[in-house]
Amino acid sequence: MQRILLILLLFTALIQGNVHAESRGFNLVVVGDPQPQTEEQITRLEREIIPQIGVIVEEYRATGYPTAILLTGDVVWDTMEFLPRVKAMFESLGVPVYAVIGNHDHPADIANNERIAQSHYEKVWGQRYYTLELGNTRFVALDNICYTDHDNYTIAVDRKQLRWLRRTIRKADENQRIAIMMHAPAVNYRSGEVLDYATEIIDIVGDRELHFITGHRHRHATADIATNITEHSVAQVNGNLWFAPICSDGTPRGVFCIEERDNSWRWQHRILGESADYQLVAWDEGIVRDNESYVVAKVIGWDASWRVEWMENGEPRGEMERIEIVDPDYMHYVDKEADYDDIIMARLRRSAYPHGHYYRCRRTVENSEITIMATDRFGRTFTIGVE
């Protein structure tokens, strides 16, 4: 009888162990370029940004899955004295916090001495390249800022790191996906080409599923490099350099959330202060320049896999027409609300150019009720109405 009971207990433990293995995962809250430069900005980070990220972190902790935070570099804006303060702020949220080094995480007054320039970051955050495991993913942090001085740096990964990366990948479980965390992107988003240094990384990783997680551009973008390779370029958490409450591509202040469940990833941009269901913005006719006769919608966290459809008075009208425009809300802020010196105003305007996550439709019935439905690559559908 005791032997039978022992066998049953072992069988139960084996089943429970397998269920745990199949359902293991994580939540990663990715914070793009916090970059405080002044006492006012770091105070706003502490009082405005951190509490709202904390709400999302608490939502994730309630799922029971491990939760962590990643800062995509430019932890500060040439203000090395702020590094420990920023680290302490994020650690106060009660989950592990990781970071990568950005170009602004080097002292602006040091030139031609990369070792010393890096040391300020390392004293607070530790190694510039390291590896960790969450769920079924092997995360690898790399330093892709080859620093000469404040105005001169190249985007690359040195040979020493590449040799270390090769050893790290060789030791990783062959069933793990790989996530490379760096500051600057792997893709040139103007040409669409993968940068040479990133091609080397791709060759080292081989046939595994690979994700790049980067910042630096202050805009949201998802690039499907190949069927098993994706880059997530994360928008700046605080808007545009603390000078606008929205990024120049129209991405609202927020964080990029990655969830692993049952060995699959899904992700989305989470707007600070809003629920996860808030993914659409819509403008009625007469508001969007050069599109005055159309209803126009913006898809937050968009990528090329989204499908955007519309209904009029409950009748399906098919897919909306995708267009490229400068974000109306961003330009309204710059033209009507922003009040900075000429240098900053010029910077705000210079960073605005058309993006492709906008859609339009034209009513067939005057004053009809419009419903817009956007479905992402994971099958999640978000709706917004326009009357």
> Is 90 exceeded by the pLDDT of residue 256?
yes
What does the alpha-carbon distance between residue 12 and residue 260 come to, in Å, rounded to a whole number?
26
Q: What number is the average pLDDT over the span 282-300? A: 97
Q: What number is the average pLDDT over the span 193-212? A: 97
Where does residue 78 fall: left (phi above 0), alpha (psi -120 to 50 degrees), or beta otherwise? left
Question: What end-to-end distance do the CA atoms of the chain give, in Å?
Answer: 72
The CATH fold of domain 280-386: Immunoglobulin-like (2.60.40)
> Is 50 exceeded by the pLDDT of residue 81?
yes
> Is 60 exceeded by the pLDDT of residue 316?
yes
Which secondary-structure segment (H or E) carries 41? helix 39-44
pLDDT number for residue 23:
58
By the 10 Å C-beta count (0-12 exposed, 13-18 middle, 19+ buried), 279 is classed as buried
Q: Map out the domains of the chain as residue ranges.
A: 17-271, 280-386
Q: What number is the average pLDDT over the span 117-132? A: 97
SS3 at position 165? helix
> Is 60 exceeded by the pLDDT of residue 370?
yes
Q: What number is the average pLDDT over the span 104-128? A: 97
- Of 25, 286, 58, 285, the closest CA to residue 134 belongs to 25
Per DSSP (E only), the strands in 288-380 are 295-299, 307-312, 315-319, 321-325, 355-361, 370-375
Q: How far is CA 179 from CA 110, 113, 137, 269, 291, in A?
A: 31, 30, 7, 18, 40
Of the given ranges (20-34, 145-159, 246-260), which has the lowest mean pLDDT? Answer: 20-34
pLDDT band at 219 (very low <50, low <70, confident <90, very high): very high
What tens digit of pLDDT does each residue of 140-183 get? 999 999 999 999 999 999 999 999 999 999 999 999 999 999 99
Residue 47 DSSP code: I
Q: What is the mean pLDDT of the chain?
A: 94
Class of domain 17-271: alpha beta
User: Helical H runs in 279-363?
Assistant: 328-332, 342-350
pLDDT band at 387 (very low <50, low <70, confident <90, very high): confident
Report percent pLDDT > 70 for the chain: 94
Report percent pLDDT > 90 for the chain: 93
Q: Give the torsion sign (CA, 198, 78, 87, 219).
A: negative
Q: What number is the average pLDDT over the span 193-220? A: 97
pLDDT number for residue 197:
97
Pairing of strands 355-361, 370-375: unpaired
pLDDT band at 24 (very low <50, low <70, confident <90, very high): confident
Prediction pTM value:
0.93
